[in-house]
Amino acid sequence: MSSGTQRGRVAIVTGGNRGIGEAIARRLSAEGAIVILTHNRAESADQAQALAKALGADKGQALALQLDSADTQAIIALIDHVAQRFGRLDILVNNAAIGNNTLAADITLDELDRAIAVNLRAPFIGAQAAARHMKEGGRIISIGTTNAVRVPRQSRVAYATTKSALVGMTKAMAHDYAEQGITVNLINPGPTRTGMLGDDNSPKVQQMLSFCAIKKLAMPKDIAGLVEFVAREEAWFITGAVLAVDGGYTA
* Cβ contacts of 168 within 8 Å, gap of 6 or more: none
* ∠ CA 146-150-154, rounded to 5°: 105
Q: Is 159 annotated in the active site?
A: yes
Phi, psi of 4 (to 5 degrees): 70, 30
CA distances from 51 to 3, 14, 175 (A): 22, 14, 36
Nearest to 92 by CA among 46, 143, 145: 143
Q: Please check whether residue 61 is in contact with residue 36, taking contact to mean a CB–CB distance below 8 angstroms.
A: no
> Where would I find the beta strands (DSSP E) of the chain?
10-13, 34-39, 62-66, 91-94, 139-143, 183-189, 242-245
Q: Which of 97, 159, 212, 227 is catalytic?
A: 159
3-state SS class at 91: strand
Residue 235 vs residues 138, 185, 217: alpha-carbon distances, Å = 11, 11, 26
Q: DSSP states of 14-51 as a string? A: TTTTSHHHHHHHHHHHHTT-EEEEEES-GGGHHHHHHH
Active site residues: 159
